[in-house]
Amino acid sequence: MRMAALICSASLLALLAAPASADNAPTTVEMEMASTWVRENLLSSIRLPPFSFRYGTANSASFLRSWAREITTTEIDISRTLHTVTWTHPQNRLQVRCVAVQYRDYPVAEWTVYFKNISSQDSSICQDILGLDLALSRTARSEYVLNGIKGDSTTADSFQPYQLTLGPGVSKTFAPPPISGKSSDGPDGWPYFNLQMPGGGIILAVGWPGQWSCSFARSGATGLNIKAGQQLTRMYLKPGEEVRTPLIAMLIWRGDDLVRSQNLWRRWYIKHVIPHYNGAPQQPVQQIQVSGTQLSNLYGFLVNGIVPDICWRDAGWYPTSQGPYTGNLAWLNTGTWEIDRTRAPRGFRAFSDYARSNNSSFLLWFEPERIGSPNSFLGNRPQWLLPGTSTTVGDILDLGNPEALDWLINHVSGMINTEGIDWYREDMNGNGPLPAWRNRDSATRQGITENFYIQGHLAFWDALRTLHPNLRIDSCASGGRRNDLETMRRSVPLLRSDFQFPDMPGVVDGNQCHTYGLSMWLPFAGTGVYIYDPYSFRSFYCASFGMGGLTVENTPAQKQAYSENKQVAGHMVFGDYYPLTPYSLASNVWMGWQFHSPAENAGCIQVFRRASSASNSISLQLKGLEPAMTYEVRDFDQPTTVLRTGQSLMTTGLSVQLPQRGSAVFDYRVINQAVTPGRNQYRPPRRGDF
């Protein structure tokens, strides 16, 4: 196994000895480490690249250096450099192309590898294709420790943090469940990892909205092998065919402050991952659910002073009467993506125009991949379909089929134009498309259906964004089960999990835990709440927030919740995140966290006393403040504010007293200091943003 230059080279070992930074901004040392790693691993003609594959019977390590190699480098913008490294088979049978982006403002590199048959004959078998294949070596003073969170399982413990010590002989493989194909599905399905090593660590992300796999296996006394890629690849390529690996992103950090490393990730994510519009990242949003096309759905909120950013029309607006599902499940009869004129005789345009005239926008739900009704438009086009199983809840539209993909792009784009759709919401229900993908493959084409499908799915979203530059995309797959890095580059998850309904045991405290764990990785996520006491609805505050139907009885609660969420949501997206208590699902604890926006020198705190907690108070030591500055701290439940120094808030702490199960929300700001513009500065959403 080759030795990666991340830790083993003498120059980098020397850099690790330099003093660490307490700030969440990247340091010069971290930038130098990342630059060295790119030079020695992605651009070197001597060292093998950080990916691997088998071609025929041989491993790429045995032959890749003998293939012709070319490098081109271009400047994307002031922050990014694009490196393309191409290897060509001696007889021009296969071309391997690594497309890498080096960031000059963060210690990050990312790459995707493409394999193309450039001959006139079928290629040899390409198998065990890994977009990431690294062998690390550490010093002996401490162990490797892997940090991450669980994927979504529609349970209270979705997004639960874990910490795994990778001692000698330990190996661990992560992947979505074996019937899934959804990229952030299940306990072992979160495709983001933070590996601590002596002196620092690396954050890794696998961008693949399909069935990926990532393994960490100890080697000897000090070694660790990391491999990641599409889970199953064993295929020959026909002339002209091209497949790709998952996107791999790597952030290098140093020191021993895990929270700082996650905030470094959050800052890079906001600048370079989350979709931007008019030069700014996606702003926080608030939404309401609307049924039919009744203008009164929106008007009722407007007259009560609630102006939602999104009017959300969910499933069931298409023909649902002909299909295997009835009653409350009739919405599963998908496959005809036309408006049911018995429900909406004039379509949605009048409503979407009315929403925009009132500083709102219109979202429409789609589920184009799953064909729930064999009697539907798509159900009658078997040449476009991948036969499903009972676990997929219907056949699957083959997005790797150019004809099917072309129809979908044009049809959805046409509806965006005619109906005035501002947000395209895409869902994917059932256990997942993986069985349909694999049932199509032969023994010598394993993984190729999935690969073409994933390329088609990303091309579909890219086409919509090109045709409609102001279109927003909401990623959903039975909740938060498809939120890998490639997906997050094009969308935001307005719903982080389907674990949101009042009849679900533990749903309130569970959503506190969702915020706690997911905030380490995704600055922007959302949910909805249908419970109207403050302890409950405060447990759901997110970058995207919404509540259930407005009634006379719940109007005061909804006005309070929407108002409070708007005041904290900007910090939740653009601030640094600090857990202030340990994570726990238990009912006898307090839970709390802080979001701090450095550019404003302001932030917010949320804290919850759970039902069985024996203590009626807690002291929370805040983070990231300026010790000598004075802060005005406001309790949302109290009419007055208090003044405290940063030093006092970070050492003595903020004391919170709750006589029983309850919640508190605070915000704070520095006084007598002008706001300094910066990349994390929050501004309220404007009409043009939507």
pLDDT tens digits, residue range 594-623? Answer: 999 999 999 999 999 999 999 999 999 999
> Residue 657 burial by CB count (10 A; 0-12/13-18/19+): exposed, middle or buried?
exposed
Angle formed at CA 370 by CA 437 and CA 319, multiple of 5 degrees? 160
Q: Are 182 and 176 in contact (CB under 8 A)?
A: yes
- The predicted pLDDT at position 391 comes to 59
Digit-coded pLDDT (tens) for 87-96: 999 998 999 9
Looking at residue 680, the DSSP 8-state letter turns out to be: T
Q: E strand or H helix at 254, and its extent?
A: strand 247-254
Residue with token string 């005041």:
567
- pLDDT attached to residue 677: 45
- Measured at the CA of 139, the angle between CA 134 and CA 140, to 5 degrees, comes to 125
Q: Which residues of 549-583 are buried (b: 16+ CB within 10 A; e: fewer)?
A: ebeeebbebbeebbebbbbbbbbbbbbbbbbbeeb
Angle at 239 between CA 237 and CA 244, to 5 degrees: 45
The backbone torsions φ and ψ at residue 570, rounded to the nearest 5 degrees and listed phi first, read -60, -40
Residues 6+ apart with CB under 8 A from 583: 160, 161, 513, 516, 517, 591
Q: Which of 85, 38, 89, 40 lies closest to 60, judged by CA?
A: 89
User: Residue 605 in 3-state DSSP?
Assistant: strand
Query: Residue 575's closest CA among 500, 519, 492?
Result: 519
CA-based torsion, 25, 27, 33, 35: positive or negative: positive
The Cβ-side half-sphere exposure at 362, using a 13 Å CA radius, reads: 25
Q: Rg (Cα) of the chain, in Å, rounded?
A: 26
What letter does residue 185 receive in the DSSP assignment? B
pLDDT attached to residue 176: 98
Closest CA to 267 of 193, 209, 203: 203
Interatomic CA distance for residues 201 and 212, integer angstroms: 22
Q: In what order do the strands lie in the sheet with 602-609?
A: 576-579, 590-597, 602-609, 662-670, 630-635, 641-645
Q: State the pTM of this model.
A: 0.94
Instruction: Provide the 10 A C-beta neighbour count for residue 173.
Output: 12
Q: How many CB atoms lie within 10 A of CB 660?
A: 9
Give CA torsion, residues 271, 277, 281, 284, to 10 deg: -160
Q: Which residues of the chain have pLDDT under 50?
A: 1-21, 675-690
Angle separating helix axes 402-419 and 448-467, nearest 10 degrees: 30
Of 521, 669, 680, 649, nearest in space to 148 by CA: 521
